[in-house]
Amino acid sequence: MGNIVAIVGRPNVGKSTFFNRLIQRREAIVDSVSGVTRDRHYGKSDWNGRNFSLIDTGGYVVGSDDIFEAEIDKQVELAIDEADAIIFMVDVESGVTPMDEDVAQLLRKVDKPVLLAVNKVDNNKRLENAVEFYSLGLGEYFPIASTNGSGTGDLLDALVEAL
Ligand code: GDP
Ligand code: MG
């Protein structure tokens, strides 16, 4: 049984905040994808006695805030190949964006566990707003707040169950 988990999603949704919260030990490997300026960070974590490797994708490009849909798609495709489960992170503050819809379209075809994490759910209003992410066609989602850890336990329960 595999135990590689990739976190994908567009920039600034909170992927690295979530990753940094979870990992006990960052691995030295920072894997640059050739032809793509975005690289990946690897870490190890465990939950309920289950160990897994976590890959944080994207967002390490220096000197640019530009992100091209093709780069995100490439990270998602790499994650689909490499990972045993995928956490697709979106941001309730910005709501559903065209880039989220693009990623969702790729992930709907995947025959691996995909967990939709709606991040930045810091209050009840945002919890209500999170329902719009059903429109991504990925089913149930996990409302979380990576900054304080709220909701992440339920997400991790489901993740290790799916691995
Ligand atoms: P990434 O580009 O997807 O890796 O996103 P980052 O982890 O770098 O986070 C982008 C911004 O979102 C940072 O300013 C974080 O502090 C903020 N952020 C991350 N998680 C949360 C959260 O749960 N609530 C709020 N309000 N902000 C968050
Ligand atoms: Mg990041």
User: What distance in angstroms lies between residue 65's CA and the mean position of ligand 2's atoms?
Assistant: 12
Return d(Cα 71, Cα 130) in angstroms, integer.
Answer: 26
**Helix ranges (DSSP H) in 41-82:** 69-82
User: For residue 129, what pLDDT is reported?
Assistant: 98
Output 35 or 128, whichever has higher pLDDT. Answer: 128
Tell me the mean pLDDT in the region 118-133: 98
- pLDDT cut 90: percent of the chain above it: 65
User: For residue 90, what pLDDT is reported?
Assistant: 97
Closest ligand relative to 14 C-alpha: 1
Domains and CATH numbers, the chain: 4-162 (3.40.50.300)
Tell me the mean pLDDT in the region 5-16: 91
Tell me the mean pLDDT in the region 90-116: 95
If you search the block for the tokens 């489901």, which residue do you land on?
Answer: 158
Residue of 67, 147, 155 best suited for mutating to test ligand 1, as the one with most atoms within 8 Å of CB: 147
Q: Is 60 annotated as a binding residue?
A: yes
Measured from CB, residues less than 6 Å from any atom of ligand 1 are: 11-17, 59, 119-120, 122, 145-147
